[in-house]
Structure formats: structure tokens, C-alpha cells
Structure 1
Amino acid sequence: MGQGLDEIKQRLRAFAEHETAGVSPLYEHLAGKAAEDDEVAGLLTTAAPGEARGTLLMAVAHRLIQADPIHPLSRYYPSLGGFDGVDGETWPLFREFLLERADKARALIEARYTQTNEVRRAALLYPAVAMAAKQAGGPVGLLEVGCSAGLLLGMDKYGYRYQCDGGEQLVAGPAKAAVGLHCSIELGEGAALPKVPKKLAIAAKIGLDRAPVDAGDEDELAWLEACVWADQPDRIRLLRTAAAAQRKDPPELVAGDAVADLAATVRRLPADLPLVLLTSHILTYIPQELRLRFLAEVEKLAAERPLWWVSQEAYEAALKYVLPGRDELAFRATGQSVLGLVHYSGGKPAADLLAQTAPHGQRMTWLA
């Protein structure tokens, strides 16, 4: 436990400049101010290793304001019905609010992880999982590592509408889906539109997470909502809709480690099913040594059964290890993640770069 204050302030600054700029005016402003404030940034010093990030500080503040929605700060939080834009009072109110509740804030920071379960990412992953299932030649087993509440595991139940830059629309998923997702697709040079089948043949599914979230528990769901950026209320509404739909047919979620417990979790799926392994914005949050161990474990599993790995991650956190030499795709250079499909044949990876993707699933540039 415990991180250096200078490193935390640097992370807050990077969060403001590279992740929130032009996307979330509220968080860009608050994170930028927090990066210059020892007391506010210092709240993160008790976070678990690797967790002292702007996303966690903003989620903790969001959770505390959810619990006190009549506080004047709430008028800057569209998620709570606020409609004021950032002004000269936003930071002073935020700072005072958080420091008055410093003990509560530290308790949440020590106990919680950033656990987004961004439902819109299913629209990015769907074409890649469909490609894997087509290559597998039949129904597949789906395992998501870092599943949070497992909402992405419901991707076969969602409806999709892809708006192409030429005006064409691609439609997939059940006609009367409770959850409808929209994603815009641009085509890279020489690329052709992806094939998106009407149905995904997923015969079994399971999620693995160090702390799975029960989306049927209101307090747990409130934390997931708090992890959504407060000036993007549409994302929260979608989260609630997907959580309600999931209650009708909840997937199995397993508490465990992404490396140590991966093989045991795979064995919970029928042995005759080809395996599609899914990671989305998870490997970014673990150190390189653990990423390498994860990839080594995946290679071992691929020697036992047909295996495809679908990743939607920062290039430098995932695809770089199996498709090196494409540093121009790095998140720090583009602000975008990449969608990759890796098929293991004879235990060795063959990687395809499919798309560059906006982090929250709203658009992608298809490259394949």
C-alpha cells in the first residue's frame, strides 16, 4: 500500500490531459486542479498498488455526492440532475466537499477498485467475437477476464446498430433486445466493412474477476455507476438497463486471479467448446510482469483446446506482445485503444489488428 505523491499528481495530470480532455469537461477540470493540490491528490496515497489513478478519485467523489445529492456540488453533476457547466466555484466546492469527507473518501479508496463495466464496448467486441466463432466453426465458450459485473458477457443478447461513414447501416442482434447499442464505423485505407452476423453462437459463458460485482445488489450497482463519468449520464442509463436485463439470466462470475485462477476457470466450461477469451481495458491496469505471465498462461491453455483471444486494450498493454512494431498505435500517441483477434495454433499466436477504438465504445476505425 502507499504511492508517492509526485507520481499520483503526475497520473492525475495525465488523466486530465490525455483521457478526459475534449470528452469530459467536468473531470478534465477537476483532475487538472487535483494534480496541483497536495491534500486532494494525497487522498490516493492509500490506494491499492496500481490503483492510485484519476478514475478512482473521481469515482469516490461521485459515490459520495450520490449519497449527499442536495449538496451544492451536485449542480455540476448531470448524473444527479445537475446542469451547471464548469465555473469558478466548481473546484472550490469539490475540494471542500471531498476534504470534509476525507475519512470516508480514504475508506473507499482503500476498499475499492475502479470497476467500469462499459456496456457500449460490446459493440466493439461483437464483430471480433463473431469472427472467432466463425473460425471455430460452431458454438463457443466465452470467458471474460476482468469481467466486473459481467455485463459484456451479455453481448449475444444485445441489439447493435453500426453507422458507417458512407451512410450504410449494419444491424445485428435480436430484434427486440432490451439493450440497444449504437457505434459509428469509419474505414481505414483498404479496409472492408466487418461481417456482423445476426446471432452469436455462445453456448456457455463465465466471468473471472478479483472482485466480481453483483449487479443485482443496489449498493454494488451504485459503485459501478459512480465509476461512470458523471457528465455522461447516458452511459449510466445504459448500465442500469443492461444490469436489469442481466438479472433474468445472470452469468456465472468467479472470484479469482487473472493468472493463477485462469486455468481452473476455463475448466468450468464444457471441454468440447472452442474457447474465446475476452479482455477489455484490463491489462492496462496490471504491471508488465503480470501481463507476460497472463500471456504465458493463455499459450499453455491454447495447447489444450482451440483458443481465440479478443482484446480491446491499449496497444502497448496487449497486442504489442503478439504483434510488435506498431508503436504508432500506442494509446499515449492516439488516445485510442485497439481491437485485436489472436488465434493460437499449435500453442503459438497469430494476431490480427482489427480496429482502432474509442475507449468507451462510441466509435471505431475498422482496419481489417
Structure 2
Amino acid sequence: MTALDLVRQRLAGFAQRGAHGLSPLYEHLASRAAEDPEVAGLLTAAPEHFAQPTLLLAAAHRLVQAEPFHELSNYYPSLGGTYGADERTWSLFRAFVLERADRMRALIASRSTQTNEVRRAALLYPAVAMVKGPVGLLEVGCSGGLLLGLDQYGYRYQTEQAGQLVAGPAKAALGLHCALELAPGAELPRIPKTVKVAAKVGLDRAPADLTDEDTYAWLEACVWADQPERLRLFGVAAAVQRKAPPEFVTGDAVADLAAAAARVPADLPLVVITSNTLHHLPGDEFVRALRELDRPAWWVSHESYAAALVHVLPGRSDLEAPHEAVGVLGLTKFEGGEVVSAKALALTAQHGQRLVWLP
């Protein structure tokens, strides 16, 4: 399989499973790009592991941001556009990116998709709350570190059984809403009003400095262009983070995990969180690094089953989602090089819209 074949396959898969039903614009663009060797070929400028469809779309989004009066912006709600995908969308997009092919390749070669989906904090909150605090959080693949602010956000979990469950600070600047459903045989989880976090560390190969204008613009570009509400939440969460930024460690998720964990005071329970990170990493090596930490650690994972929990909770074919937009929330405890406990807590919508709690 050539590099071009690979990216075309990924684009088609993203259109069919990743964007379908969530982003009409990106489903349309990805499906057409998969059939167009010239446009798809732009993505081959990225290292194979990072040559994901969202990187091509983010690079295009960034260039449209820089030319907000271009006709293509009419199709980008993030820039005030109100047009839905139609017969002109693809031709405009194709001409736009190919006329700027050098700039597209430069972005694709030097950047990676850094999605700061703050709504995922609503997925992680119930799992982190299961570890008796105050805790020390270490987010691996943190980008701008917005999920590390999960103790500062307000939450509204909508349930059929108990109405709306409210958590988080009463006057939180950012409020997140999440549907909480029960799988057959499951009971509503206990969701405490507060989670106490005493230390916050983010590990990333390229931590994102939200005070840098160009970096901030790139993170905005990584938000899907026809989901302006996500962009609004990103902006509010970024403002919250700037008031009390976490400590960032630049390094590899596997090789530098122990060094990053050492930045969390030893007297705090260490809670390692990952959210849609392990599809960029060898999951077995990451779990090995967790086992080798010289202290007890809880791993809150929000990943696909195949990327994460399969390594600590094998044989759960019921968790293998047929759809890329479905993840699994897990909680695993490591101590003395062993897995003390591992549990699948819930199925999730990848952007934080829904939890389906498991028995």
C-alpha cells in the first residue's frame, strides 16, 4: 500500500464513520478528497502516523481563517458562513487548497491534529471522581491542557431516571451538558458535586501554548468548521486555563511518562488521563510504561476499546464499537507492576455528548 493509497483509505473511512452524522461539511469534503489523488496527495506530506484526515481539514481551515473573505468561507460556520454543502462546495475547496498547495504541505508536514475537545471533560469527570482526592492529574497527549481543568467546569448530566444531575462549581465560567443513559442492568453512577485536584501536569510531544497567537489559531482550526459551539466552548475553556495554567512537560508519551509522573507530588494519588490519544501510540507500550511507574496509578482512559482497554481487559468483544465515533470510558489501577483492577465504565460519544453507563 502506497502512502497515497493509505491516506485515501483513511479519508474514505473518516467520511463513512468518523464524520457521518456529525459533520455534513467534513463528511462531504473527506469523501470527495478520497476520490481525488491531487487533494489526498497533500496529506502524504505528514509522517504516516499523523497523516489523518482531520489534519488535511485542519490545514485547510487554517488557511481559510487567514482569508476570511474568500468565497469558501461561506461554507464555514466557524467563520460566519451559512451555506450548507452543495454542488459548488467541492470545486471551491479543491481549487482553494491546490492553489495553496505549498502552504498546505508546509502545515501538514509541521503540525499534527491537536483537538482540544473540552466537552470530553464531562466524560472523564465521573471516572476521576472515583479516586479519593485530592488527586494529582497527569494528562498524556494534553495539547493545550484543557481537560486538566475538569475540576473548574460545571456539568449538567441529563438522565431519564433522576432528571438533571448537577456537578462542579456553582459559578463555573464554563458549563457542559451530557446525556447520561443506562445500559440494561446498570445503575446511575454517583457523581459528586466536586472533584478535588491538587496538581496538574500535561505531557505532550508539542504542548500548545494558548498565549501564542499562531498556536491558538491552529487549535481553533483543529475544531471542525461546521461545529461553532465547540469553538465557543474552546474559547471559554482557554480563558479559564490561562488564569491557572498546568505544568507542561515536553516529551514522549511512553519514554517520558515516568519523568512527567514525577512532577506530581508523591503524596497525591496519581491519576493519568488519556482521551483519544492512543490511536497515535502503541497501546501495549504505553500500558507497559504505566505498569513500570514506581507508585500506584489510576488510568482514566477515554479511547476505543482496541486502543486501550483491550490491553488490560481482554476478551470484551461487546466493547468493540462498529463506529469510530464511539469510545469506552475505563478506569484501571496499577500497583507494583500489576493491574490491580480494570473496568469498563461507559460507552461514550467521542465529542462528549453522551455517556451510556455499563453494569
Q: How many residues align?
A: 358
Equivalent position of 1:354 in the other structure: 345
| Letter in structure 1 aligned against 2:261 | V
Equivalent position of 1:60 in the other structure: 59
Residue 254 of structure 2 is aligned to residue 259 of structure 1? yes
Partner Cα distance (1:24, 1:41) in 2: 19
Q: Which runs of 5+ in 2 are unaligned?
A: none
Match of 2:14, SS? helix
Say whether the 8 Å CA contact 2:321–2:327 is kept in structure 1: yes
Say whether the 8 Å CA contact 1:3–1:47 is kept in structure 2: no
Equivalent position of 1:297 in the other structure: 289
Q: How far 1:196 sits from its partner (Å)?
A: 1.2
Matches within 5 A, 1:111-190: 111-133=110-132, 138-166=133-161, 168-190=163-185
| Letter in structure 2 aligned against 1:46 | A
| Letter in structure 1 aligned against 2:269 | P
Match of 2:83, SS? coil
Say whether the 8 Å CA contact 2:291–2:336 is kept in structure 1: no
Equivalent position of 1:213 in the other structure: 208
Name segments (4+ residues, structure 1) moved above 6 Å: none
Matches within 5 A, 1:243-258: 243-258=238-253
Say whether the 8 Å CA contact 1:316–1:327 is kept in structure 2: no
Matches within 5 A, 1:12-161: 12-133=11-132, 138-161=133-156
Provide the TM-score with structure 1 as the length reference. 0.95
Equivalent position of 2:303 in the other structure: 313
Equivalent position of 2:314 in the other structure: 324
Q: How far 1:347 sits from its partner (Å)?
A: 2.7
Match of 2:289, SS? helix
| Letter in structure 2 aligned against 1:358 | A
Q: How far 1:323 sits from its partner (Å)?
A: 0.8
| 1:318-362 deviation digits (Å, cap 9, x = unpaired) | 011111112232244574000000012443212111000001001
Q: Comparing 106-115 with 328-337, which one deviates more in the overlay?
A: 328-337
Q: How far 1:222 sits from its partner (Å)?
A: 1.0
Partner Cα distance (1:335, 1:235) in 2: 16
Partner Cα distance (1:176, 1:329) in 2: 37
Q: Which runs of 5+ in 1 are unaligned?
A: none
Partner Cα distance (2:310, 2:348) in 1: 16
For residue 199 of structure 1, the aligned residue among 194, 218, 242 is 194
Provide the TM-score with structure 2 as the length reference. 0.97
| Letter in structure 2 aligned against 1:360 | H
Match of 2:332, SS? strand
Q: Comparing 18-27 with 291-300, which one deviates more in the overlay?
A: 291-300
Partner Cα distance (2:249, 2:357) in 1: 33
Partner Cα distance (2:323, 2:349) in 1: 13
Match of 1:317, SS? coil
